[in-house]
Amino acid sequence: MKFIQTRGFDGTRAEKVTFSEAILSPIASFGGLYVPETLPNLGEEFLTKHLKSSYKELAADVLSRFEIDIDQSVIDEALSLYDSFDDASNPVPVIKVQENLFVSELYHGPTRAFKDMALQPFGKILSSVAQKKNENYLILAATSGDTGPAALETFKNQKNIQVVCMYPANGTSDVQRLQMVTEDASNLKVIGIKGNFDDAQSALKNLLSSESFEKTLNEKNISLSAANSVNFGRIIFQIVYHIHNYLELVRQNATKMGEKAYFNVPSGNFGNVLGAYYAMQMGLPVEKLVIASNNNNILTRLIQTGVYDMRDQELILTTSPAMDILKSSNVERVLFGLYGATRTRELMNDLDTKKIYTLTATELEKLQEIFVADFCSDEKGKEYIKSNFENGYLMDPHTATCFKAYESCCTKNIATVIYSTAEWTKFSPVIANALTGESDTKDITALESISKIASVKIPNMINELFSKKIVHNSVIEKESIEKEIIKFL
Ligand X SMILES: *Cc1c(COP(=O)(O)O)cnc(C)c1O
Residue 168 has φ and ψ, to the nearest 5°, of -75, 120
* 32 versus 268: smaller Cβ distance to ligand X: 268
Return the residues of window 419-448 that contact ligand X according to CB under 6 A.
421-422
103: which strand partners?
Answer: 95, 418
Return the residues of window 449-488 that contact ligand X according to CB under 6 A.
none
* 29 versus 269: smaller Cβ distance to ligand X: 269
Given the rule CB under 6 A, which of 28-36, 73-81, 262-270, 343-351 is the region that contacts ligand X? 262-270
List 6, 269, 318, 388, residue binding ligand X (CB under 6 A): 269
Q: How many CB atoms lie within 10 A of CB 40?
A: 18
Shortest distance, position 291 Cβ to ligand X, whole Å: 9
Given the rule CB under 6 A, which of 177-185, 267-275, 403-411, 444-452 is the region that contacts ligand X? 267-275
Shortest distance, position 145 Cβ to ligand X, whole Å: 7
* 36 versus 271: smaller Cβ distance to ligand X: 271
DSSP 8-state code for residue 284: -
Q: How far is CA 200 from CA 138, 188, 193, 273, 321, in A?
A: 17, 17, 6, 25, 14
* 75 versus 422: smaller Cβ distance to ligand X: 422
Cβ burial of 258 (10 Å; 0-12, 13-18, 19+) is exposed
Is residue 266 at the binding interface for ligand X, with CB under 6 A as the rule? yes
Is residue 262 at the binding interface for ligand X, with CB under 6 A as the rule? no
* 127 versus 421: smaller Cβ distance to ligand X: 421
Q: Three-state secondary structure along 339-392?
A: HCHHHHHHHHHHHHHHCEEECCHHHHHHHHHHEEEEECCHHHHHHHHHHHHHCC
DSSP output for 62-81: HHHHT--SS-HHHHHHHHGG
Using an 8 Å Cβ cutoff, are 58 and 82 in contact?
A: no
Length of the chain: 489
* 320 versus 416: smaller Cβ distance to ligand X: 320
* 46 versus 419: smaller Cβ distance to ligand X: 419
CA distance 147 to 152: 9
Mark residue 276 as left, alpha or beta (left: phi above 0; alpha: psi -120 to 50; beta: remaining): alpha
Is residue 240 at the binding interface for ligand X, with CB under 6 A as the rule? no
* 288 versus 398: smaller Cβ distance to ligand X: 398
* 143 versus 416: smaller Cβ distance to ligand X: 143
DSSP output for 448-470: HHHHHHHT-PPPHHHHGGGGSPP
Going by C-beta distance under 8 Å and a sequence separation of 6 or more, which residues neighbour residue 332? 6, 32, 33, 344, 348
* 240 versus 322: smaller Cβ distance to ligand X: 322
Using an 8 Å Cβ cutoff, are 326 and 310 in contact?
A: yes
Return the residues of window 272-301 that contact ligand X according to CB under 6 A.
272
Is residue 146 at the binding interface for ligand X, with CB under 6 A as the rule? yes
Is residue 226 at the binding interface for ligand X, with CB under 6 A as the rule? no
List 46, 55, 114, 308, residue binding ligand X (CB under 6 A): 114
Shortest distance, position 475 Cβ to ligand X, whole Å: 23
Is residue 148 at the binding interface for ligand X, with CB under 6 A as the rule? no
Q: How many residues bind ligand X (CB under 6 A)?
A: 17
**Per-residue x/- track, 322-361, ligand X (CB under 6 A):** xx--------------------------------------
Half-sphere exposure of 451 (CA within 13 A, CB side): 14
List 268, 306, 337, 381, residue binding ligand X (CB under 6 A): 268
Q: Binding residues for ligand X, per CB under 6 A?
A: 113-115, 146, 229, 266-272, 322-323, 398, 421-422
